Structure 1
Amino acid sequence: MSAANLLLERIRLDGEINGEIIKVDQFLNHMVDPVLIHQLGDDLAARFAHLQVAKILTAETSGIMLAQAVALKLKVPFIYAKKKRPITMPEYYAAASYSFTKQESTTLYVSKEVLHPQDNILFIDDFFAKGSTLKAIEEILSQAEANMVGAAVIINKSDRRDIESILTLDDLR
């Protein structure tokens, strides 16, 4: 069974769709089904296997599990942009992001020790909605002079088709 069909089945069994709000906290972003995440990661990794991806980049927190699955399949490290800068990160790239789900602004931080000029970066996240997280990641990559070679999410809730996804909002209707 394809990753898209597995995900659709799981959403029907354990999820909920209310307009553009997709509740998947029983298997994706609160309690995580590692087998499902592995299958989703394999699917997305296959779409980028032909590229020279150096690192995966995601935002803390919900993208971490998928980023790890894709990174494992591609055999590259992954970075997650942190929402709070620790004192162990004296030099960093930063950009603001707004979460429409949480209704709050935050700043994302990535250490200059882990992101370098000319790194080929694949952005991974759980959802793509309004694009605020991706915009912040693009700003961070610009500051680092790194290259974004692609972007992928589990569910794309927007009309943008340059974002690879397992499902779109149209698939869920």
Structure 2
Amino acid sequence: MTAAETLLDRIHREGAVNGEIVKVDRFLNHMVDPQLIQVLGQELAGRFKNAEVTVVLTAETSGIMLAQAVATELGVPFIYAKKKRPITMTEYYAAASYSFTKQQSTTLYVSKEIFSSKDRVLFVDDFFAKGSTLKAIEEIVTQAQTTLVGKAVIINKSKRRDIEAILTLEDLLA
């Protein structure tokens, strides 16, 4: 079974799709199935194996497990942009983001000491919906003067096709 078929099967058995709302709490973003994350991570990493990725970047919290799986497959570290700046982070890049799922604004922070201008960044997240998180990540990458080499998600709920995804909303509604 492919990663897409495996995920689609899990959504049909244990999740739900209601319009643009995809409920995957039992295996992706509340309780996490590490074997499924590994399969998804392998699939997405394979799509970027020739992109010379030096670091995987995600936003806290739901993207962390996938970012780790992708980074492990690519043999590179991963960074998660924090939603609260710790006092130990004195120099940082920051950008605003809005979560439509949580109906709240937040600021994402990445410490300046962990990015290099030579980095080739792969953005990874669980969902792509309206693009607010990606926009914030793109702002941070620009501030850091690094290169964004790709964008990958588990489920792309938008019409954008410049984002690698295991499934799209069309796949779920078919």
For this structure pair, what is the TM-score category when the shorter chain's length is used for normalisation? over 0.9
Structure 1 residue 117 displacement after superposition: 1.2
> For residues 115 and 21 of structure 1, what CA distance do their matches in structure 2 show?
34
- Corresponding residue for residue 115 of structure 2: 115
CA distance in 2, matches of 1:109, 1:89: 9
SS state at 1:94 partner: strand
Looking at secondary structure, tell me which structure has more helix per residue.
2
Task: For 2:113 and 2:7, locate their aligned partners in 1 and report how far apart those are by CA, in whole Å.
Answer: 36
The whole-number CA distance in structure 2 between the counterparts of 1:118 and 1:136 is 20
Q: Counterparts of 1:96-107 in structure 2 under 5 Å? A: 96-107=96-107
Secondary structure of 1:28's counterpart equals helix
1:37 is matched with which residue? Answer: 37
**Number of matched pairs:** 173
SS of 2:36's equivalent in the other structure is helix
Q: Unpaired runs of 5+ in structure 2?
A: none
Amino acid corresponding to residue 4 of structure 2 in structure 1: A
Q: Which amino acid aligns with 1:61?
A: T
Q: 2: distance between equivalents of 1:116 and 1:92?
A: 13
Counterparts of 1:29-68 in structure 2, within 5 Å, are 29-68=29-68
- Length-normalised TM-score, structure 2: 0.99
For the residues of structure 2 that align with 1:90 and 1:37, how far apart are their CA atoms?
Answer: 33
Determine helix, strand or coil for the equivalent of 1:17: strand
One-letter code aligned to 2:27: F
Distance 1:16 1:122 in 2: 29
Equivalent in the alignment of 2:5 = 5
**Cα distance in 2 for residues equivalent to 1:60 and 1:115:** 17
Normalised by the size of structure 1, how large is the TM-score? 0.99
Query: 1:108-153: per-residue Cα shift (whole Å, max 9, x none)?
Result: 0000111121310000000000000000000000000000000000
**Distance between the aligned counterparts of 1:149 and 1:160, measured in 2?**
16
Alpha-carbon offset, residue 51 of structure 1? 1.0
Taking the aligned partners of 2:23 and 2:87, their CA distance within structure 1 comes to 35
Q: Trace 1:1-173 onto structure 2 (pairs within 5 A).
A: 1-173=1-173
For residues 87 and 143 of structure 1, what CA distance do their matches in structure 2 show?
21
Structure 1 unmatched ranges of 5 or more = none
Task: Specify the code of the residue in structure 1 equivalent to 2:113.
Answer: E
Equivalent position SS for 2:95: strand
After superposition, the C-alpha distances for 1:35-69 in whole angstroms (9 at most, x for unaligned) are 00000000000000011100000000000000000
3-state SS of 1:159 partner: coil
Aligned equivalents of 1:122, 1:150: Cα separation in 2: 5
Q: Which amino acid aligns with 1:19?
A: G
One-letter amino acid matched to 2:155 = I
Q: 40-49 or 109-118, which moves further after superposition?
A: 109-118
